[in-house]
Amino acid sequence: MRNRSVTVIFGSLVLWGLITYFLISDQPVSKEQDTARVSNQISKLERRVKQEIALNQELFQNIKEDKQHKKKIDTVNGNTGGQHKDTNHVNQDKILLEKEEKDIENNNINAHEVQTDPVHLSETSHNVPIKGKLPNGSPIIAVLVFSCNRITVQRCLDQLIKYRPNVEQFPIVVSEDCQHRQTAEVIARYGNQIMHIQQPDQSDIEVPPKEKKFKGYFKIARHYGWALNHAFFELGYDTVIIVEDDLDIAPDFFEYFLGTYPLLVSDNSLWCVSAWNDNGKAGLVDENAVDVLYRTDFFPGLGWMLTRQLWTELSPKWPKSYWDDWIRQPEQRRNRACIRPEISRTRTFGKTGVSNGMFYERHLKYIKLNTEFVHFTKMNLTYLSKDNYDINFVNQVYQSTVVSFSELKNGKVMAPGAVRIPYYSRQAYKTTAKQFGLMDDFRSGVPRTGYRGVVTFFYKGRRVHLAPSANWNGYDITWS
């Protein structure tokens, strides 16, 4: 049977060669004759392809019947005590039969010229099993570290390895861009403690003239797209935590993601879990609330977890630059939220980079990194599911006492508990945010850490909600 299949394939190749030769032959014929000749050749080719499809289908059916017949014979031999074929030979035959079936199926697909989405092609063209669970049922969550030209990636990797509770559960993949020799040497020293991959496309990127000074953002987007495709569709991971090479992590970094994982995969209104609080500066967080988590409409980044399902959605339309602002657009967010902590589980030490230190001196270097280990996997986090969270959150915010910034600053608020400072315009929000030292910018109309327009933080021992009116009906993208 295998010889027949090889003969058919060889004959097909010869036929294709002859057709190609006649098609490209330089013959002195008129335009009309040439058109007719090409049309005739195409018709013949179509008929031949149909014949090949029919023949392949027949071969496929014969192989299946032979395989079924062989199973019956083996069963009879087993029941009557007859001689058995050597196990290794049986397995080899099985592998060969399966390979022939797969080859024939692939030939049929090629003959039909099926068009496949690039992302799904990458996913299905490699027989990589999805790495989703350990034998005990716990999730496998890969840590994907993005690196370029910072030898300080060592600081990040040292912490990841130090705090990693389980090598099999949290494999570390370092994706290197930029071809920076010193950085590559640092990464190589970790040997089999990590997996080292390198972004192969180092070609120059065409950038619009007005954005030439932002070329770095284009390279970062290209790197992210390639590395995430590789992690999900080549390496086969089902869940990934993204870490950049300039991040410190908290001792309970892995516990945080492991504890929130069930929420991410069960609540369709969530699309990420982030270790970062954009307004998590010392003085703006409750240092006694190390176990408190929130929902946020603002994509935080800086240490965040996503699933293969989300990447399959985003990958086909991945942008050429500014991926983090792109992902915050309504078309991508689709009213989904992320989980974020009261106190950050990551902190950036990268003052220099493509952003040239934007926000670093005013905000980022003051972010408080958690130091107390919280056992999130032992906590009941169902309060973060949308149905539970929204009702409680709205009640807490709009039943709190309304105050002004000056009253709060000067200690003139006598009522106990949380307070609310209303805002009704973009400028009113920005003015109040600056007074508190919050990050005051918007992305696609969403303020940093905002949920339903509300930004929650801590100030002088009191929970504060910077909130729009109670009849808030969505974000205004023009506020960006």
**Cα angle vertex 165, ends 157, 139, to 5°?**
105
Nearest to 7 by CA among 59, 45, 43: 59
CB 393 within 8 A of CB 451: yes
Paired with 274 in beta bridges are 304
CB 453 within 8 A of CB 467: yes
**Cα angle vertex 348, ends 143, 369, to 5°?**
90
Task: Give the three-state DSSP class for 296.
Answer: strand
Nearest to 187 by CA among 172, 170, 174, 200: 174
Nearest to 139 by CA among 249, 302, 266, 295: 266
Sign of CA dihedral 118, 120, 125, 127: positive
The number of beta carbons lying within 10 Å of the beta carbon of residue 321 is 19
Q: How far, in Å, are 219, 231, 398, 399 from residue 125 at the CA level?
A: 26, 15, 53, 55
By annotation, the residues acting in catalysis are 324
Q: How far, in Å, are 16, 256, 283, 403 from residue 415 at the CA level?
A: 86, 34, 21, 10
Cα–Cα distance measured from residue 269 to residue 128, given in angstroms and rounded to the nearest whole number? 29
How many CA atoms within 13 Å lie on the side-chain side of 45? Answer: 17
The number of beta carbons lying within 10 Å of the beta carbon of residue 12 is 18
Q: Residue 180 corresponds to which tokens in the numbers above?
A: 């920076």
User: What residues contact 198, with CB distance under 8 A and at least 6 apart?
Assistant: 175, 176, 177, 179, 184
Spell 206-230 as b/e; 16+ CB within 10 A means b.
ebeeeeeeeebbbbbbbbbbbbbbb
Long-range contacts of 349-356 (CB under 8 A, 24+ apart): 349/152, 349/155, 349/246, 349/247, 349/248, 350/150, 350/152, 350/244, 350/245, 350/246, 350/247, 353/216, 353/246, 354/214, 354/216, 354/217, 354/220
Nearest to 274 by CA among 292, 255, 296: 296
DSSP string, 107-127: HHHHHHT----HHHHHHHSS-
